[in-house]
C-alpha cells in the first residue's frame, strides 16, 4: 500500500467514503469484452453478404487478428492489463472450426475452443446471433422479412444461438447473455410499419419458444434508432423492444449509441428498471451517430456509472462494451475502454452517496451541488492506482509501454 493511497484514503474518509470497500466492490464487477473490436467485425466464416445495418469499422491499423488463435492471444494480452476477472462477448460469426456451416447449421461444437479457453482463463462467455453479413440479410431484413423462407432461416439461426449460449453457460457455471439485435429497417419511408413489426414479434416468439434455464441463459433484445441503409425506420425500435421485454420477460439491452444524440441513456436506466427485471448495457461512444468510438471517461460514462450505483442497479445489470475502431491499436482500444468503464464505476463508488441523497431528499440543492463539485477535487487517481497495483497491472507510463510493445509485436500481421 503506497503513501499516496494512505493519504487519499484519509481524504475520502473525511467525506464518509470507505475507499477499501469501494475497491472491493469494483473487483467483483465483470465487464463483457466484445470480440469484434479485435478484427473489425469480420468474423471467421466465409461471407456472402455485406455487413448491413450501418455496421462499419474504419481504418486499417496494422495487427488485425486473422484467426481465432490470434484473436485469443490479443485478448489474453488485453485481459492481463485490466484489473479483475471479466467476460468475453462472442458473435456467432466467430466460430472456431474447420467446417463451413451456414448460419442455420451452427452448433455448440463449432465454439468449443472458445469454451475451453474461457475455462482455462476463468472467464464467462456471452453470445450474439449474427443477423448481418449474409446474403439473406443483404436487403436489411431478417426476422421481419416478408419472405417466410428467409424468416425461417433466421429463426433457426436464433434458436441454435440460444442453445449454444445455454450450453456455454452450463459448461462455465455462469449464465450467458444471448443478445438479439437485427438490422431490419427501411432506407425510405415505409407505408406499413405494423406488418413488419408483427412479423418481427412472431419471429422472436417462435425463436424463443423453448424455455431454457435462466441459470444458463439470459435472453436480451436490443433496439436501435437508425443505421446506414435503414435511415427512415428501424423495425426493432426502442419502444418495440421495451414493450416486448416487459411482455415476454426478456432482458432489455440499452446501447449508448442507439438513441438520439440528445437523449441520456443514463436517465433511461431507472425508468426501464421499474418494468424489466434484467438490463444489458452496451457501452459505447457515439460522436455523430452510432459510430462506436472507444469510450472515454467523459460525462456520459460517468453519469451512466453513477446511475447504476446510486439506483442500486448493478445486481441486475450486465455491462458489455460495443465499439470497434481500426484507426488505432485494437488491443489498446480494449484496454482503454474496459479500464475507463471501471474508472467510471469507481468514481461513483467514491462519491458520498448518503450525504448526497440526504441533501436531495431535504430539497437542499445547494449542499448537493457543493458536495458534487468538491468531490471532483478528491484524489481519485491514487485510488485507481492502488486498484491496479493490487491486481498487478500497469498504470501510467508503464501501461503505455506495455500497449506499445504489444502493438509492435503484432504489427507485422498481413
Concerning whether 300 is annotated as a catalytic residue, the answer is: no
β-pair type (87-91, 31-34): parallel
**Residue entry with cell 441463459:** 217
**Cell numbers found for residue 328:** 488505432
**Cell numbers found for residue 313:** 442497479
Q: Which of 74, 184, 201, 255 is catalytic?
A: 255
In Å, how far from its chain's centre is CA 367?
A: 35
Concerning whether 181 is annotated as a catalytic residue, the answer is: yes
Q: Which of 219, 290, 325, 386 is catalytic?
A: 290
Concerning whether 121 is annotated as a catalytic residue, the answer is: no
Looking at residue 156, the DSSP 8-state letter turns out to be H
- Report the alpha-carbon distance of residue 87 to residue 336 in Å, rounded: 16
Q: Which of 34, 134, 145, 224 is catalytic?
A: 224
Looking at residue 93, the DSSP 8-state letter turns out to be G
201 close to 254: Cβ distance less than 8 angstroms? no
In Å, how far from its chain's centre is CA 283?
A: 5
**Cell numbers found for residue 189:** 419511408
Nearest to 310 by CA among 371, 262, 246: 371
402 close to 81: Cβ distance less than 8 angstroms? yes
Concerning whether 255 is annotated as a catalytic residue, the answer is: yes
Q: Which of 36, 114, 181, 384 is catalytic?
A: 181
Q: Which of 34, 282, 343, 402 is catalytic?
A: 282
Concerning whether 386 is annotated as a catalytic residue, the answer is: no
Query: What are the residues facing 280 on neighbouring strands?
Result: 253, 318
Concerning whether 222 is annotated as a catalytic residue, the answer is: yes
What is the DSSP annotation of 228-292? Answer: TT-SSEESS-HHHHHHHHHHH--EEEEETTSS-TT--HHHHHHHHHTT-S-EEEEE-B-SSSS--
- Report the alpha-carbon distance of residue 169 to residue 103 in Å, rounded: 21
Cα–Cα separations (whole angstroms), residue 355 to 14, 42, 308, 361: 12, 48, 17, 10
Q: Which of 258, 268, 387, 402 is catalytic?
A: 258
Q: Which of 292, 300, 307, 325 is catalytic?
A: 292
Concerning whether 224 is annotated as a catalytic residue, the answer is: yes
Q: Which residues are catalytic?
A: 181, 222, 224, 255, 258, 282, 290, 292, 322
Amino acid at each position: 500500500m503506497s503513501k499516496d493511497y494512505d493519504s487519499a484514503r484519509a481524504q475520502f474518509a473525511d467525506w464518509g467514503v470507505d475507499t477499501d470497500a469501494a475497491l472491493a466492490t469494483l473487483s467483483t464487477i465483470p465487464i463483457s469484452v466484445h470480440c469484434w473490436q479485435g478484427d473489425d467485425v469480420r468474423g471467421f466464416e466465409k461471407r456472402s453478404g455485406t455487413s448491413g445495418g450501418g455496421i462499419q469499422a474504419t481504418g486499417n491499423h496494422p495487427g488485425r487478428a486473422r484467426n481465432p488463435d490470434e484473436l485469443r492471444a490479443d485478448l489474453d494480452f488485453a485481459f492481463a492489463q485490466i484489473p479483475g476477472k471479466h467476460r468475453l462477448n462472442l458473435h456467432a460469426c466467430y466460430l472456431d472450426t474447420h467446417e463451413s456451416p451456414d448460419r442455420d447449421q451452427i452448433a455448440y461444437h463449432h465454439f468449443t475452443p472458445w469454451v475451453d479457453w474461457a475455462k482455462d482463463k476463468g472467464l464467462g462467455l456471452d453470445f450474439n446471433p449474427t443477423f448481418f453479413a449474409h446474403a439473406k440479410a443483404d436487403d436489411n431484413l431478417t426476422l421481419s422479412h416478408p419472405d417466410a423462407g428467409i424468416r425461417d432461416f433466421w429463426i433457426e439461426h436464433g434458436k441454435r444461438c440460444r442453445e449454444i449460449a445455454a450450453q456455454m453457460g452450463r459448461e462455465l457455471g455462469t449464465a450467458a447473455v444471448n443478445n438479439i439485435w437485427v438490422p431490419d429497417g427501411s432506407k425510405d419511408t415505409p407505408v406499413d410499419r405494423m406488418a413488419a413489426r408483427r412479423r418481427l414479434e412472431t419471429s422472436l416468439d417462435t425463436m424463443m419458444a423453448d424455455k431454457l434455464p435462466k441459470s444458463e441463459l439470459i435472453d436480451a433484445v436490443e433496439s436501435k434508432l437508425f443505421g446506414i441503409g435503414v435511415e427512415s425506420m428501424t423495425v426493432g425500435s426502442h419502444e418495440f423492444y421495451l414493450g416486448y421485454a416487459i411482455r415476454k420477460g426478456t432482458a432489455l439491452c440499452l446501447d449508448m449509441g442507439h438513441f438520439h444524440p440528445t437523449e441520456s441513456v443514463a436517465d433511461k436506466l431507472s425508468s426501464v428498471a421499474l418494468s424489466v427485471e434484467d438490463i444489458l448495457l452496451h457501452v459505447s461512444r457515439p460522436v455523430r451517430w452510432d459510430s462506436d468510438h472507444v469510450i472515454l471517461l467523459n460525462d456520459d460514462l460517468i453519469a451512466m456509472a453513477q446511475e447504476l450505483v446510486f439506483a442500486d442497479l448493478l445486481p441486475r445489470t450486465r455491462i458489455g462494451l460495443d465499439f470497434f475502431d481500426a484507426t488505432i491499436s485494437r488491443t489498446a482500444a480494449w484496454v482503454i475502454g474496459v479500464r475507463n468503464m471501471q474508472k467510471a464505476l469507481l468514481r461513483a463508488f467514491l462519491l458520498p452517496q448518503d450525504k448526497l441523497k440526504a441533501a436531495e431528499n431535504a430539497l437542499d440543492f445547494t449542499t448537493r451541488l457543493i458536495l458534487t463539485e468538491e468531490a471532483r477535487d478528491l484524489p481519485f487517481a491514487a485510488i485507481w492506482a492502488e486498484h491496479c497495483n493490487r491486481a498487478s497491472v500497469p498504470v501510467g507510463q508503464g501501461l503505455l509501454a506495455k500497449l506499445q510493445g504489444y502493438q509492435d509485436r503484432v504489427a507485422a500481421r498481413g
